[in-house]
Amino acid sequence: MGISCQRLIKSFGEPPTVIIKGIDLNIEDGDFVSISGRSGSGKSTLLYLLSTLDLPSSGSVMIDGQSPAELSVDALHQFRNESLGFVFQFHYLLPELTALENALLPARKNNNVDAKTHVNALFELFDIQTARDKLPSQLSGGEQQRVAIVRALSMKPRYLFADEPTGNLDSVNSKIVMDILKKANKEWGMTLILVTHEPDYAAMAEKEIFLKDGVIVNTAS
């Protein structure tokens, strides 16, 4: 069913500063969409609106046929848990948990024991099996981000949102991360929405959206 938004507006503060200015967008299931633009163009804000983390000032977002604004708090969080995966610029791993425990956090919410097999397979696939029992502080930046991606993929979500996932990584690790994200989209059919300021990575997407001052100025397929 994908993600769609109509006349999406988001403003902050008083007097209000409008960041997103009436965006209409349609993302199909299985799409790989990149959102790029200069700093302050509103690309991260648009990602958070599309991914239910934030609510619009006006306009509407529909994801998987439902409006996040109309869901109850518990239903919204259950939807996030089961259907959405997030990768941020910072890994946001819990420092007191091992890599494996971090990756299993989404599954732990509903005592989903089956996820462990899947997560272990992802650790091997991403070549970080030796990191499983280590704390985040014992891992390199690239390994930390890969663990964060395993966490995002642990519930086999239908939508994967990545906000500058390579922003803190060197070129080698950036390539590894991008390869994983592409794999998630191409081989596992996840809808991938990527925010990046790297033109090369933006160009990997089937659909490129370029934002300027809160407005889509260019769309390329």
Partner 1 sequence: MFFLAIRHLLSRKRQTALIFLGISMGTMMFAIISGLQLGMREFVVDRLLSNTAHIRISARDQSVDKDEMTRRFYPQGEMISWLSPPSGKREEAHILYPQGWFDRLREDPEVVAYSPTLNMSVIISKADTRHPAVLVGVVPALYEKVLDISQYIQQGSLDVLKNSGNRVIVGNLLLESLGARLGDTIMVSSGQAELRPLKIAGVLSLSVEDVDKTLMIASLNDVQQLNKTPGQINEISVALVDINLAQAMAGAWALVSRDKVESWEEVNASFLQIFVFQDIVRITVTTAILVVAAFGIYNVLSIIVNQKRREIAILRSIGYPPSMILQLFLIQGVMLGFSGALFGLLVGFGLNLYIETIELNVHIGSGNTLIISFAPSIYIMGFAMAFFSAILASLLPALAASRLTPIDIIRSEI
Q: What single letter denotes the amino acid at residue 176?
A: I
d(CA 73, CA 70): 9
Closer residue to partner 1 (CB): 74 or 187: 74
CB of 11 to partner 1, least distance (A): 14
Shortest Å, Cβ 19 to partner 1: 11
- Given the rule CB under 8 A, which residues bind partner 1? 44, 48, 53-54, 73-74, 76-82, 84, 86, 88, 90, 92, 94-97, 105-106, 108-109, 151
54 or 213: CB nearest partner 1: 54
How many angstroms separate the first and last alpha carbons of the chain? 19
Q: How far is the CB of 219 from partner 1 (least distance, A)?
A: 25
Strands (E), the chain: 3-12, 17-27, 32-37, 58-63, 84-87, 159-163, 191-195, 207-212, 215-220
Close Cβ partners of 55 (under 8 Å, ≥ 6 residues apart): 49, 68, 69
Nearer to partner 1, 28 or 133 (CB): 133
**Angle 200-123-48 from CA coordinates, rounded to 5°:** 50
Pick 86 or 123: Cβ nearer partner 1: 86
Which C-beta is closer to partner 1: that of 78 or that of 120? 78
Sheet holding 17-27, edge to edge: 17-27, 3-12, 58-63
Contact 164, 197 (CB under 8 A): yes
Q: Which long-range contacts (CB under 8 A, 24 or more apart) does 66-70 make?
A: none
User: CB of residue 106 vs partner 1: minimum separation in angstroms?
Assistant: 4
Measured from the CB atom, the residue of 111 and 221 that comes closer to partner 1 is 111
**Tokens 């939508």 found at:** 159
Shortest Cβ 50–partner 1 spacing (Å): 12
Nearest distance in Å: CB 89, partner 1: 8
Q: Is-contact 157 84, C-beta < 8 A?
A: yes
